A = this chain, B = another copy of it.
Amino acid sequence: VIAAAAIPGLPEIRPGDDLAALLREHVGDGDVLVLAHKVVSKAEGRVVRIADIEPGPEARALAEAHDKDPRHVQVVLDESEEVVRAERGVLVCRTRHGFVCANAGVDASNSEDGTLVLRPDDPDASARRLRAALGATAGIVIADSFGRAWRHGQCDVAIGIAGLAPLDDWRGRHDAHGNDLRATVIAVADEAAAAADLARSKASREPAVVVRGLDRFVTQEDGPGARALVRPLSEDLFR
């Protein structure tokens, strides 16, 4: 049985806030704590004021072509290694962490007026630091909402992980019929992020969700992190 419950009553997070101190009492050994990336970013001060941005020529051209704020586009470009697609007002970017997503994860929702919240500089490192500070053998997932190339709507996925197996690899194991499960590698951390997303409201301040029942995927070591979920460029069939 899997159970996901939002942690109630968290205050608005500001730069320098001690997330671990706020969350510690809610997280025990074997739990998986899923955090919306924005609270981690805010605590780490990864927030920019739009008024402070000076857009360059590439940002101005893209903004003009896609009816966007050139300052917003400049921040997106700063977070991107590559713009994979720019079409119909959508900038699909590859971030420097290898994530392919709209606007390089730069978002104006759930932020104070006139600011943009970036992703944590190194989400796996953020997850590891938070885990150490919590002092529990818990899995930490930092989640963000991703669109999908061929499906409507967004699902939360893991962009930072510590202490949770990102993937459950069944290749080489067998199903109930004795068949080889060749192609089955389950993205456990992404499914945990999705389950957690169902347990909170986007409108309320419920950025933290505890998922129970995933003990078998929680590890003593911090593990490879969300980096293990990134398909390398050399395997990208849709560049």
Residues of A that sit less than 8 Å from B by CB: 1-5, 12, 85, 87-88, 90, 92, 98-100, 102, 107-113, 145, 148-157, 166-167, 170, 173-188, 190-192, 194-195, 197-199, 202-205, 213-214, 228-231, 235-238
A90-B237, A109-B179, A111-B177 given; A167·B188 CB < 8 A: no
Give the shortest distance, in Å, between A198 (CB) and chain B (any CB).
Answer: 5
Contact pick for A185, options B154, B167, B177, B199, CB 8 Å: B154
Expressed in whole angstroms, the Cα–Cα distance for A145 and B186 within the complex equals 8
Whether A202 contacts B231 by the Cβ 8 Å rule is no
Contact pick for A152, options B4, B109, B178, B229, CB 8 Å: B229
Give the shortest distance, in Å, between A213 (CB) and chain B (any CB).
Answer: 7
Whether A190 contacts B151 by the Cβ 8 Å rule is yes
When C-beta atoms are compared, the residue in chain B nearest to A167 turns out to be: B153
Whether B231 contacts A177 by the Cβ 8 Å rule is no
Q: Most chain-B Cβ atoms within 10 A of its Cβ — which of A154, A174, A204?
A: A154
Give the shortest distance, in Å, between A10 (CB) and chain B (any CB).
Answer: 11
Enumerate chain B residues within 8 angstroms of A188, measured Cβ to Cβ: 153, 198
When C-beta atoms are compared, the residue in chain B nearest to A98 turns out to be: B150
Give the shortest distance, in Å, between A33 (CB) and chain B (any CB).
Answer: 15
When C-beta atoms are compared, the residue in chain B nearest to A85 turns out to be: B237
Whether A181 contacts B109 by the Cβ 8 Å rule is yes
Enumerate chain B residues within 8 angstroms of A151, measured Cβ to Cβ: 157, 187, 190, 229-231
